Amino acid sequence: MSYHSSTTSRAVSLWLLVVAALVCAMIIIGGTTRLTDSGLSITEWKPISGAIPPLSQADWEREFSLYQQTTEFQVQNSAMTLAEFEFIFWWEWGHRQLGRLIGLVYFVPFVFFWLRGHLSARLKPRLFGLFLLGGAQGAIGWWMVASGLSDRLDVSQYRLATHLGMAFIILGASIWLSLEARFGPPPLRRGRLAGVTTGLLALIFVQVLLGAFVAGLDAGRIYNTWPLMNGELIPSDYLGGMSFLPAIFESHAAVQMHHRWMAYLVALCVFAHAVLIWREPRVSLKPFMIILPALVIGQMALGIAALVSVVPLHLSLAHQAGAILLFSATVWAAWTARRAV
CB 127 within 8 Å of CB 177: yes
Cα separation of 246 and 193, whole Å? 36
Peptide bond into 227 cis (omega under 30): yes
Cα separation of 310 and 224, whole Å? 6
Among the listed residues 108, 140, 150, the one whose alpha carbon sits nearest the alpha carbon of residue 30: 140
Cα separation of 54 and 65, whole Å? 13
314 known ligand binder: no
Cβ neighbourhood burial of 127 (10 Å; 0-12, 13-18, 19+): buried
Q: Could you give the maximum distance between any two Cα atoms of the chain, in Å? A: 67
Cα separation of 91 and 318, whole Å? 18
> Which value, to the nearest 10 degrees, does the dihedral of the CA atoms of residues 184, 185, 188, 189 take?
70
Cβ neighbourhood burial of 75 (10 Å; 0-12, 13-18, 19+): exposed
Point out the annotated binding site. Answer: 259, 319
Point out the annotated binding site for heme. Answer: 259, 319
